Amino acid sequence: VNYVISIDSAGRINATVGSQVTQSVSGAVAINTGYFFVGMTFNSTGRKIYVNSIDVTAVGGGNTNLPTDTASVVRIGNSRLVVNRKFDGAIDEIPIWKRVITPSEIKSLYNSGLGLAIV
Angle, vertex CA 33, rays to CA 57 and CA 29, nearest 5: 10
The residues spanned by each domain of the chain are 3-112
Report the alpha-carbon distance of residue 34 to residue 18 in Å, rounded: 29
Name the H helices within 6-117: 103-112
Q: What is the pTM of this model?
A: 0.73
What pLDDT is stored for residue 104 in this prediction? 92
- Number of neighbouring beta carbons within 10 Å of residue 28: 22
**Tens digits of residue pLDDT in 35-94:** 888 888 887 777 888 888 888 887 765 555 555 666 666 677 777 667 777 777 788 888
What SS3 class is residue 8? coil
User: Of the ranges 9-13, 28-32, 103-107, which one carries the lowest mean pLDDT score?
Assistant: 28-32
More confident residue, 100 or 63: 100
More confident residue, 62 or 4: 4
State how far the alpha carbon of 42 is from the alpha carbons of 77, 99, 101, in Å.
20, 9, 9
Report the alpha-carbon distance of residue 50 to residue 36 in Å, rounded: 10
Note whether 30 and 11 are within 8 A (CB).
yes
Its sign, for the CA torsion 42, 18, 27, 95, is positive
